[in-house]
Structure 1
């Protein structure tokens, strides 16, 4: 998954970087300035390094220049919204970029309204992810749509190109045939469909993992919606869904022992606001806090005896490692820390995350800080630092820092009528249903 190949070239786009942002700083910044610096530098990945034809997010630096990622591009859309709100780019620049991205995908290959995981950013053709994974990837499509929802709510003006942008987003959302992926009405959703191999991958989407957003969008869709039983009898019936066992002093409501990689607490919750969000299975704010604390507690206990692990150096998630790429977690610990794991957990446990962020930036910045923010990962045991940046790891840092600072993306996303309808059809409760943003 996401293995490096040839060196990348930088896309020709105007830089969003002030001169002082070019390298790691030796000056100690206050918390707000540090968060701003991490967000702004990471945003350059989606703005300056975007594919020069499609405007979509390249999968990684030091990879194949032409490969763009749909899920990472959805994270990039939300990052663009943050950038406008913070004044790093103009509203008009953002709208033009989003029109380019959407216009490209309108002409690209899709399958029952869903897009592949990877695509050629010039031709719009599928880039095969695995031998039989050469068609629709419903989860990546959901991450893309999640970004579009936030943009559709944010760009709400009635003049210029914004009405057209909202209309194009609406068309793209309506085109996704969510119900097709129930495989003729089964109680569940299936991750992949291929025009060459059909349902051969047979990958039913079972929880607990990063896929909650998919069921919410599919249940609330204006057309091609799924019935609630696809969630309750499918996703929620996995043997690794309910946990409720104490581990390292933390009781984990949902998920495998150890919690799994920390992106479970990030990808769906870039848009979905977990504050006060609950259903018959869990309180999702408590879930994500527990997952974060468990991940940190495991790294402090450090049963594998890896060098560098500790209270200020933790975070296991999917990222590069010295031999490739893996979804690192307590049950798949290879001594590799990913800065995005802790940083993107900032809303859940700031008292644990901010010291880790300080350590990564202030103590290790000369090794970890690059052109687009923190490098993807490092292993002190192996004496190794990745020189890569990945879209799916840079994006959550920008968005979750902003959700911690202002709640911007959470409050935008939860205003969407289809999102609220999906949550209510699945029997969720949220303070957003009253129409008042959560503070």
Structure 2
């Protein structure tokens, strides 16, 4: 995905930098002596700030990107992202629960976000990829991509359903917000995106160009959550055949094979093993621990193995890039030395770029290995660590260290750290009755809600 550019006021940056100069609790002056818990909290808290201090003022949503250097090819000063905001509101939930902000402050921010979403452009209930945050009007992601984006909508709904569960049994104001979220959720017309009743979901629809984007979504990739939510909808739910025929393609999604000597069970679209956001975006709320269906005996094991493939490739380092190794691995979609790229564990898609979100957001799958990367990156200092956490990407080979962030990469870091620490977002999302009904409808078994730490 090629993303657009956004400017945030310099004042916000200066305030954040000032706030981040103090050491987190438990941090030693020697980076090597910081405890794992203190390091996790440092990274989670700093990344949370992207969605809190860095939010677009009117909507409260996540800016598509933030450039510390202030250099932007375009000046779209109020562009916000739907999918990245779905990740961001989950990061905010974790921040509220940890006391980074008060419950009252958190509720006020969520009310601002929901008020924006109630009025913002929608297309048969689905949100676009981008809006102008000051108006709620769609900002086209591309010429024909100026309408509903069902995948980004699913990422947003994943977050909103977690927020719903956080507040549904709270005080009167919290219950009122949960009710408003439920209405937004019920208004997404997943059936419309079957393009005339086909047994497959289409990614885009435009009021100007109709179905010309022509992108039916098949698995496996990052879009699994879209099919689960489409089945889960109490108002516009799709039949199970849409999942089985469309996503799983009547079983063709099953394709046992080995990459880097590691077993994978599923077919990965267009590659033997995909970028690591495929192991993360759907599982920020959807708990992979104990999750299985007729196509995959263990989604947790599959995603862990996908992560291990990524790590093993970087350690083998067939293109001999500087810095790659056991303490510096992680290939995923991010900024790149030549723009934006979906870096993957194969030589064609490997550009020598490490994206911190890849390993750090995999901490639920590979805690020891991900902590090894986190500690290494933290020791690299402000070359890779800034006011909103680790910068999006870097290349030691090219001596390329841009001080830039992308919402859709920052969000999974904070969310998956929290899931590793407490399982909070997994527990919230999975507790929603509609989610449970959707999983049952599609034949999933969820045999455990333990976090990796508890196993």
Rounded to whole Å, the distance in 2 between the matches of 1:347 and 1:358 is 16
Cα distance between partner residues in 1 of 2:285 and 2:433: 14
Q: Deviations over 1:361-420 (max 9, x none)?
A: 11x123100110000000111110121111111110011011111111111111111111
Match 1:279 to one of 278, 289, 293: 293
* TM-score normalised to structure 1 length: 0.94
For these two proteins, the number of residue pairs brought into alignment is: 435
Q: Which has the larger displacement, 331-340 or 269-278? A: 331-340
Question: Secondary structure at 1:233's aligned position in 2?
Answer: helix
**Do the aligned partners of 1:11 and 1:49 also contact (CA within 8 Å) in 2?**
no
Whether 1:50 aligns to 2:64 is no
Alignment of 1:313-332 (within 5 A): 313-331=328-346, 332=349
Q: Does 1:139 align with 2:139?
A: no
Aligned partner of 1:9 in structure 2 is 9
SS at match of 1:127: coil
- What secondary structure sits across from 2:165 in the alignment? helix
TM-score norm. by structure 2 comes to: 0.91
1:20 aligned onto 2:34 = no
The SS at the match of 2:54 is coil
Runs of 4+ in 1 over 2 A off after TM superposition: 1-8, 10-19, 21-28, 62-65, 156-160, 238-243, 255-258, 436-439
Secondary structure in 2 matching 1:130: coil
Native 8 Å contact 2:253 2:295 kept in 1: no
Matches within 5 A, 1:284-295: 284-295=299-310
Gaps spanning 5+ residues in structure 1: where? none
CA distance in 2, matches of 1:268, 1:366: 31
Task: Please name the residue that 2:222 is paired with.
Answer: 210
Matching of residues 148-297 of structure 1 within 5 Å: 148-237=160-249, 241-256=253-268, 257-282=271-296, 283-297=298-312
Q: How does 1:287-436 map to 2 (within 5 A)?
A: 287-331=302-346, 332-362=349-379, 364-431=380-447
How many Å apart are 1:235 and its aligned residue? 0.9
Q: Is the 8 A contact 1:11 1:52 kept in 2?
A: no
1:239 CA drift (Å):
9.7
Distance in 2 between the 1:214 and 1:420 partners? 15
**Whole-Å separation in 1 of the counterparts to 2:386 and 2:45:** 12
Q: 2:122 matched to which residue of 1? A: 110
Note the C-alpha offset of 1:159: 2.3
Is the partner of 1:358 in helix, strand or coil? helix
Greater shift in the superposed pair: 61-70 or 309-318: 61-70
Question: Which of 17, 21, 34 matches 1:29?
Answer: 34
* Compared CA separation, residues 379 and 255, structure 1 to 2 (3 A): farther
- Are 1:85 and 2:87 counterparts? no
Contact 1:24 1:366 in 2 (8 A): no
Match of 1:393, SS? Answer: helix
| Equivalent pair of 2:6/2:66 in contact (CA under 8 Å) | no
Q: Deviations over 1:340-379 (max 9, x none)?
A: 00000001011211111111111x1231001100000001
SS at match of 1:153: helix
**Separation of aligned partners in 2, 1:427 and 1:11:** 51
> How far apart, CA to CA, are the structure 1 residues paired with 2:254 and 2:322?
33
Q: CA separation in 1, counterparts of 2:370 and 2:250?
A: 30
Cα 1:335–1:255 change in 2 (3 A) is farther
Asked if structure 2 preserves the Cα contact closer than 8 Å seen for 1:258 and 1:294, the reply is no
Shift of 1:308: 1.1
